[in-house]
Amino acid sequence: MFLRQNFLPKNLRDTAVTTFTFTVIPLMYYFELFVVLPRYYEQWSPAYNFHFTIGTFMLFNICSNLVAIMLCDTSIKGRVIPAEINPDWRYCTVCETIAPPRSWHCEICNICILKKDHHCIFTGCCIGHDNHRCFVILPHRFDVERDCNTRKER
């Protein structure tokens, strides 16, 4: 796994959406655990402690997945190209380099991405070979967090 040298978003749209994402997640955490949760359960009761612990754990998981997505370098930059090139490999005219199969050039990042899935505006980077697992897990983390917060006993 390679780490990205520049993990900041590349354009204004990515910067705005990434900033929104990293602002809303802690705000939702605060709202759910310090405003909503005390209205359902007595403070420091076992149910309150359970939901507070799960909420904090899920905040850590969501933020660590977002950071892992942003830090993983999925580009072909710095990768060793084999001496014998397979016929499946192609020449990227923009990067001016040999690119492996299933790699595509990202117009926003301006580099070829290994197994490119898409350019994610929420993280400001491309989803590809090294960070695809974290990206796939992220919506499931949001689902678990949502289920924990909406299925409170009455």
**Chain position carrying tokens 């005219």:** 93
CA 147 to CA 64: how far, in whole Å? Answer: 20
Query: Is 117 in contact with 135 (CB distance < 8 Å)?
Result: yes
Residue 150 confidence (pLDDT): 67
- Show the low-confidence residues of the chain (pLDDT under 50): 154
Residue 108 confidence (pLDDT): 94
Judge whether 101 lies within some domain: yes
The boundaries of the domain holding residue 98 are 12-150
Judge whether 4 lies within some domain: no
Q: How many CA atoms lie within 13 A of 101 on its CB side?
A: 4
Phi and psi for 66 in degrees, rounded to 5? -60, -45
Judge whether 7 lies within some domain: no
Domain count, the chain: 1
Helices (H) then strands (E): counts for the chain: 4, 6
In this prediction the pTM is 0.84
Judge whether 5 lies within some domain: no
Query: Is 44 in contact with 145 (CB distance < 8 Å)?
Result: no
63 part of the active site: no
Taking CA 26 as the corner, what is the angle to CA 140 and CA 62, rounded to the nearest 5 degrees? 25
Judge whether 6 lies within some domain: no
Q: Which of 72, 106, 112, 120 is catalytic?
A: 120
